[in-house]
Structure 1
Amino acid sequence: MDSTPSQTAASTFDLVECSLYAEFDVRVEPIEWCPLVELDPPVEVQHQQFRDETCLLDVRTHDGEPRTVRITQECGCRCPSKVLTDAGYLPRLLEIYPDHVRLGVHLGERTEVEDIVERLRSVAEQVTLRKLVQIGSDSSVETAMDLTDLTDKQRETVTLAITRGYYRQPRRVSVGDIADELDISAAAVSQRLGAAESKVMRQVFDAFADGCE
């Protein structure tokens, strides 16, 4: 009798190195579909999991005494986390505010930033990149682009510039293209990008541009 284990059910899987981490602020209006907004903000999300169309969350609230509560709810079609999960990403819902949510997600390559923003825009009024971090093989931070010190308008313009390929080599869009999409003047776009670059972009520009080729 052959005792060799059967190999007919051999499993296969894909391994993708996630060397990037990105955080996004996602403005969704109306946001009444999510009962979490009824909690006093900010609400810190400790864990989120989807089971079919049901969302399970452990959240830390600060209304009075800090406490951790578990919430089970039907997931709305406008949920940013569900949109990314359905696309194969593993987003982490970080915090919830009255008018926006904050998401973090690990990525395999920089072009996924564009894909994520486009998917989030299908359910969101506004999507802005908050930070983009490149992680080394030893888990150290090699390159960090932190946009938290920018104004909302500057972050919106920088996010659009990145996702539309303004910082690619060669450039895929012009300042005029970005201005048309934002419905503002080209001079205003140049001013916003210039201010952003003087604060945070120049220190990581070369590394980011090389990674986008």
Structure 2
Amino acid sequence: MSSNAGDADGGCLRVDLDVEPGSAWECPIVDDHDDVREVTVNAVGDDCRVDLTPADESGVVTATGSVDEDCLCHVFQRHDCVPRIRGVDAGTMRVTTYVDDRSVVRDLVSALRDAVGRVALARLAVVEGPGATERATVDLSALTDAQREALDLAIRRGYFGDGADHAALAAELDISESALSQRLRAGQARLVAEVFDATAD
């Protein structure tokens, strides 16, 4: 798939992210509740109001906060994306957005990490056609944290193209070259299996 493959046939990419806010990051969505089933955001000017339905279904809770440049919604807007906050699970926000270009995913995740904290790409799906059906899905949750970190760095450093070499990647991760090889092989094997399982359905 080319980096603009989503545009070729009227489709796009669905991106599911797990966002773990750092302790210094303030947001009314996660300030008082670690488990939320539904989130509705209404940000106007410098004020943000959110309606939350806690997982224990104790009723809708309204919370307010201030909007600043590090707000999650602003980061998405700067990348021409609209976030849909699907809920909060053990303090981790589950966010879905849609992009037309695969390169936007890398830039968006990097910007979110700078502003918010730990961000993991949980799922990537190709969505195409007028009915917006998902043609192929890759569930990245099958990867271990170590495999995900190694593959993410390898992609960002151009390892699979003409970029960083094996020794440089291992040094940056502070692991041996054999450990890096094992992580990359295992991670690639899991992703390949996931792709072929998804396309066979």
Asked if 1:143 corresponds to 2:136, the answer is yes
Alignment correspondent of 1:200: 191
Q: What whole-Å deviation, never above 9, does each CA across 1:84-140 have from its counterpart, x for those lacking one?
A: 223322112223356543321100011111111221122244322111100121422
Question: Normalising by the residue count of structure 2, what TM-score does the alignment of the two structures yield?
Answer: 0.75
State the AA in 1 paired with 2:189. Answer: S
CA–CA distance in structure 2, aligned partners of residues 45 and 156 of structure 1: 30
- Quote the residue 1:126 is aligned against: 118
Moved more, 124-133 or 180-189: 180-189
Equivalent residue for 1:184? 175
| Larger RCO (alpha carbons 8 Å, 6+ apart) | 2
Contact (CA 8 Å) 2:11, 2:126: kept in 1 or not? no
Instruction: Structure 1: give runs of 5+ residues left out of the alignment.
Output: 1-15, 206-213
Note the C-alpha offset of 1:29. 1.8
Unaligned runs of 5+ in 2: 1-6, 197-201
More moved, 67-76 vs 135-144: 67-76
| In 2: Cα distance, 1:155 partner to 1:132 partner | 14
Q: State the identity as a percent.
A: 29
| CA distance in structure 1 between the partners assigned to 2:167 and 2:38 by the alignment | 39
- 8 Å CA contact 1:79–1:123 kept in 2: the answer is yes
1:32/1:111 Cα in 2 relative to 1: closer, same or farther (>3 Å)? closer
The Cα offsets for residues 157-196 of structure 1, whole Å up to 9 and x where unpaired, read as 33333444445xx344444444344333333332222222
User: 2: CA distance between counterparts of 1:174 and 1:125?
Assistant: 28
> Who is 1:26 aligned against?
19
**1:124 & 1:183 partners in 2: Cα distance?**
25
Q: Is contact 2:13–2:101 with CA below 8 Å preserved after alignment?
A: yes
Number of aligned residue pairs: give it: 187
Moved more, 158-167 or 99-108: 158-167
Aligned-residue Cα RMSD (Å) equals 2.8
Q: Report SS of the residue matched to 2:184.
A: helix
| 1:71 equivalent in alignment to 2:63 | yes
Which structure has the greater CA radius of gyration?
1
The alpha-carbon deviation at position 146 of structure 1 amounts to 0.5
* Residue 60 of structure 1, CA deviation: 1.6
- Trace 1:1-213 onto structure 2 (pairs within 5 A): 19-31=12-24, 33-63=26-56, 65-97=57-89, 100-137=92-129, 138-167=131-160, 170-202=161-193, 204=195
Q: Which has the higher helix share?
A: 2
Distance 2:74 2:172 in 1: 27
